[in-house]
Amino acid sequence: MHFPLFGRISFRDYAALVFGFTFLAFESVLHYIILLLPKPVINWFYRRSRALFHRVSAEKQPKHRSPEKKAADQILKARDFGELCAIWGYTHEEHVVLTKDGYLLGLHRLPSKIGEKKKNPGTSTGKPVVYLHHGLLMNSEVWVCLTDAERALPFVLVEQGYDVWLGNNRGNKYSKKSIHHGPNSSKFWDFSMDDFAWHDIPDSINHILEVTKAQKLSYIGFSQGTAQAFAALSIHPSLNDKVNVFIALAPAMSPPGLSAAIVDGLMKASPTLLFLIFGRKSILSSATMWQSIIYPPIFAKLIDGSLSWLFNWQSLNISSEQKIAAYAHLYSFASVKSVVHWFQIMRNAAFQMYDDDVLSPVVRTSVSSYRPARFPTRNIVTPIVLLYGDSDSLVHIETMLSQLPDHTVAKPLRSYEHLDILWGKNVHRDVIPQVLDTLRVYCGASPEEDDDAVVDNCTNKCNELVVE
């Protein structure tokens, strides 16, 4: 009998694999126990963890809450995108897109400035349109869960005079429905980045253009949201005529791998091992449960530790209060298959489509009779601007540029990591002005005010809304 993993990983890796299975089994049992516990018992454990944290923490608790702390508390309690926007005085619209293969995607829209409400929802504003798309294991909330409105890119764009739309991938919090399969079916979760590229991105863009009556829009993606656009633009030539500029924040295409050697080695040796560990539905589906019962500062420490171990990110550019606020909105549902797809990309060091041939050779020879189809990204016509952190372990800019057209512009952000580009302390100085400058060049919109005036106006109005 042949066991494909034997001889490819060490005894230490096998031990880690056994530990992983044991932990997942323990976590599953604990999950069901917690579901059966009455709420008063869960609340008691929550209070005890909070008391223990403050007792052992070296950080002294201030007598008076800072404005950032007040904002963080409100963001932490916000249940959805609408409540997050309401904290800062914005009224949003909700739209639903039916993809060609039957998934219902939630779209969020910010058509009006702070304190204003559009008289005719669901109609054109006549403003230039900007579409933002989130990363892996995220949803649209990650763009608006900042403790200062001046650092939230969608709010700044709205104040600058743009019609702002935010997308959601199939399967996440706002897109967990299909006309063919329910979310409890493994068939519902049988999707990868291929499906985002073939359906989710182009169908969302077509809906936005239909509602706004605009001929083109500007696309801003974060992390996997950039990969989805790279893929979609490369396989849909006509989509290039609908996007006047593609701004890629923390771009992802073919990352070199993970900093955690054991996980990196195991997953590259056999990406489909994830199916054995997590099944064929959603990955890390219990994360929302742990998030709801663990004291937020403790949860933030756990996330920080995980990010440091997996990616070697230190997250020093993100404040403690911002982490507590944002990490509560970080996770959303994603398919195991979409994560398997990423490990296939990393194993082959190529931005390829999902490899359905799980038995394909993993040992490279001088001549190969098989190669998974690659996304033809050098065929993209839309102007591309990359804004990447020079301390981001997932970005190898030379490799990325070699796979993109010559008109691509790359701009490094000094000392920035991956999540810093979303939630860093100085994104209003380092990131947002570059986004605004790029939009002015490519979408032909004349700004209503200069950058500083917009940011100051947004800050002053929003500070009045953050109350005890």
Report the distance separating Cα 319 and Cα 296, nearest Å. Answer: 14
Instruction: Name the E strands within 355-443.
Output: 384-389, 409-413
Active site residue 335: no
Catalytic-role residue among 195, 392, 420, 430: 392
Report the distance separating Cα 85 and Cα 65, nearest Å. Answer: 22
Q: And the tokens for 100?
A: 């060609």
Contact 74, 462 (CB under 8 A): no
Active site residue 203: no
**What's phi and psi for 280, nearest 5 deg?**
-120, 30
Report the distance separating Cα 293 and Cα 296, nearest Å. Answer: 9
| Per-residue exposure over 179-195, b if at least 16 CB sit within 10 Å of its own CB, e if not | eeeeeeeeebbebbbbb
| Phi-psi category of residue 362: left, alpha or beta, with phi > 0 → left and psi -120 to 50 → alpha | alpha
- DSSP letter for 150, please: G
Alpha helix stretches (DSSP H) within 196-260: 201-212, 224-235
Task: Find the angle CA(412)-CA(167)-CA(106) to the nearest 5 degrees.
Answer: 160
Pairing mode of beta strands 103-110, 177-178: antiparallel
The CA-atom distances, in angstroms, between 141 and each of 134, 317, 391 are 9, 20, 25
Report the distance separating Cα 278 and Cα 334, nearest Å. Answer: 12
Catalytic-role residue among 108, 329, 418, 428: 418
The CA-atom distances, in angstroms, between 244 and each of 135, 376, 451 are 21, 19, 21
**What's phi and psi for 248, nearest 5 deg?**
-105, 110
Output the CA torsion 177→178→181→187 (10° steps): -90
60 burial via Cβ count (<10 Å: 0-12, 13-18, 19+): exposed
Alpha helix stretches (DSSP H) within 64-221: 67-77, 81-87, 153-160, 193-195, 201-212
Q: Which helix (H) or strand (E) covers residue 222, if one does?
A: strand 217-222
Active site residue 95: no
Of the candidates 185, 228, 186, 193, the one whose C-alpha atom is nearest the C-alpha of residue 339 is 193
- How many C-beta neighbours within 10 Å does residue 286 have? 14
Catalytic-role residue among 223, 270, 282, 332: 223
Active-site residue list: 223, 392, 418
